[in-house]
Structure formats: structure tokens, C-alpha cells
Amino acid sequence: MSYPGSNKKRKPVMMIHGGAWAMPDKMVEDTKKGIKDAALAGYRTLRDGRSAVDAVEAAIVSLENNPNFDAGNGSVLTADGKVEMDAMIMDGSTLNAGSVGCVNNIANPIKLARMVMEKTDHVLFVGEGANRFAHEMGVPQVSTDSLIGEYAKEEWERFSSGEYASCVSTMFKRRDVKQSGHDTVGAVAVDADGNVACGTSTGGITFKKPGRVGDTPLVGCGGYADNKTGAVSTTGHGEGMIKVCLAKHVTVLMDQGSTAQEASVKAVESLNDRVQSSGGVIVVSKDGDIGQYFTTDRMARAWVKDDRVFYGVETDDIISCPV
């Protein structure tokens, strides 16, 4: 279903992010390859004539399966050494959405979020209920060890030893504080029918309190999609994004006349101005225009448009090549 007046075929656009945070130099090259691969996975789905929702899921699955990213198989550990993952997906043609919070022992939370959207009358399942729903849907269980990599284990050990104790409560202030964890992954897309979709997935924040849920699975905070305006996925300090409903804020600005890029800058800057938090957004408008902006050290992002792929982690290091 397309928003009224949008029945003209469009050129599909795919955009993804791999988190806004203080990414170590040693992770940059593997991260660039991962975001390029994920963007292409989503774009090929669109080029095959499938929906924006399909493309968002395909791109995020690629990121969840890559241990370089904090989602799925690259999750980090809570204060008690466990994994708690969150994810959401939203269809801009219907405003239907599905989310899961504090889910564990599954490889791809974004798939479970889509099951919530398409197979229930609800939007958000958390904790034991989310895991029970996964079991009811026949989602295979995986071991916790398979969801965490060496970087996550090393970082948890540093927190446990007290090395980062002084910055646990302030790690997401603007640019001058070391950020911990890989943060989130996300995707936005517009398909040939003019429908948009978004999705966001995270493996959490290192040493977070058990049960803590950030912006990722919350509609309007971690992501939002509406064929009337466009689609947004966010990344950064979840508590701050919840307070300003960052993703929805971007779409409101677009509805008021801002371009995707203008809305990205205004919304993320207001995140700092209002609640002194940092982060980033990726945006695709209903017409296929893109926006991106971040106030952290780096933000991994990639997009495919007009059969060219663009990707990078710095503000000005974007690489471009044909698909």
C-alpha cells in the first residue's frame, strides 16, 4: 500500500548505520566492509522488487550476523554478565510496528520484532514474554557465548575492574567523553512503490543495569516510518533520545518543510541543547532524499542510491563505487 498520490514507481534507496560512538581505529576497516555489505544486502532486496520492510530486515540481519556490530551476534554484556537485546521495525505504509526488549538467546532480534508486527495485535514484547513469544514462533535458540565477541568480554572486564567506573553515568555526553560499547545498528529504505520502512537493533550498553531498555525498541524514539514524510533510525544515548522522541522529531521537522538533511541536523543538535546527549540519525524521505548527522566521534553509515554505494565512518571520509 502506498500513501495516496505515491503510486508512481520510484528508484529505491537503502541506508544503514552501524552505530554512533568512539569507534577504535582497529575496528574501522572491518566496520566499513560490514556497513557496505549490509547496505548492498538491503538494496538487492529492493532491486528484486521486494518491499522496504523486507529490505530493512535484510540489511539489519546482515549487521546482526556480523560480530563487529553491537546487535545480535555482536552484543555486549550487562552488569551481571548477561545479554539483553532490543529491536524494532516499522512499516510506513500502515504505521504498523513491532518491537522486542531484553530478549536473549536468539541470533536475530529484528526477525522477532517483525513477527510481533505481523503475527500479533501488539507492538512491544519484553523480557520473559519476548522470549516465550520467540519459542512459540519456533525461533531457534542460540547460546549466550555465541552472541558475544572478544571485544565485548574485554570491555566488560574493564568495567568490572572499575577502570570505567567514573564515566558510566556520563559516557554519552557530547564529544569530549569516551563512549563505551558499539551502540546500535539500523536501516531505512524507500521501495519502488514509494513505501518507507525503518528498523533498529541493539545488543545493549556494556555494564548496563539488568532490565534497562533504551530508545531502540520504542516507536518514535529509536525509529519511525511514515509514508507521509519518510523513515528514521537513531543511534546514541538512548535515555536522551527517549526524552526528546528523536526519530519522531525528525519526521515532524520534515512535515514542517525541512529537507531530510536539515531535519537530521536540527533534531540531533536539539538532542544536545535540550538534554545534553549525543548521537546520530539516518533518514530517507518519501521522495528518496537522504539525511545523516552525528555528534559522536564517528558514525558508521552507508547508503545505496542510483546504483552507487556510499560508505564511511568519519564526517568526510565517504567512499563511493558502483553497485
Task: Give the residue numbers marked as catalytic.
Answer: 184
CA–CA distances in Å: residue 290 to residues 7, 27, 60: 20, 26, 18
> Residue 103: beta bridge partners?
85
Beta strands 298-305 and 290-294, pairing class: unpaired
CA–CA distances in Å: residue 28 to residues 93, 183, 199, 245: 35, 15, 23, 30
Strands of 74-204, DSSP E:
85-91, 96-103, 124-126, 184-190, 196-202
CB 88 within 8 A of CB 222: yes
Residue 290 Cα to chain centre, angstroms: 16
> Cell 524514539 belongs to which residue?
221
- Strand ordering across the sheet containing 124-126: 124-126, 96-103, 85-91, 196-202, 184-190, 13-21, 298-305, 308-312, 319-322
Residues 6+ apart with CB under 8 A from 309: 36, 39, 40, 43, 302, 303, 320, 321, 322, 323
Helix axis angle for 109-119 and 127-136, nearest 10°, is: 80
Nearest C-alpha neighbor of 188 from the set 1, 17, 7: 17
Q: What's the one-letter identity of residue 197? A: A
